[in-house]
Amino acid sequence: MKILDKKSIKNITVNKKARHDYFIDEVIEAGIELSGTEVKSLRKGAVNLKDSYVSLKTGEAFVKGMHISPYEQGNIFNKDPLRDRKLLLHKREINRLIGTVKQQGVSIIPLSLYFKGSLVKIEIAIARGKKNYDKRDDMAKKEAQRNMDRAMKERNK
């Protein structure tokens, strides 16, 4: 078995909006089923996770709303950019996700997409939605931290 080091992980994209709109409870790594031209588009970074989410049905998990741009050199092998893509998870993981989604206000959203060696992995999160006042609190805390860092930097000069 081959041991992967930190250098073999290459980020493709990160869903920045997810951490702004949700409280992240738990993070899970999953494989994703893709076609060859989709992988070539991912190598170019032509993907958008912004409005995507994970749907669970009949014991399977699917990513919906993830946009992978068609590969320019591809022809008839290009797939629909917004098609549902199957996640590769163990049955017990899917059953646990189904149990947690039945709770009130819990969603499953993708956080990031990356290459781990030659495999494409997706990081999904069990998340609870934030209210507007929670978002304002987070922004105020970030701004205060930025101001403190700026003041410390000026003081150390």
Query: Domains of the chain by range and CATH?
Result: 8-129 (2.40.280.10)
pLDDT tens digits along 127-146: 888 888 778 888 888 889 99
> Token pair 């049955």 is at which residue?
91
- Where is 149: in which H helix or E strand? helix 132-156
Q: What is the reported pLDDT for 61?
A: 93
* Mean of pLDDT values over 85-105: 88
Residues 142, 19, 117: CA angle, nearest 5 degrees: 120
- How far is residue 112 from each of residues 53, 100, 133, 141, 150, measured CA to CA in Å? 12, 21, 26, 24, 30
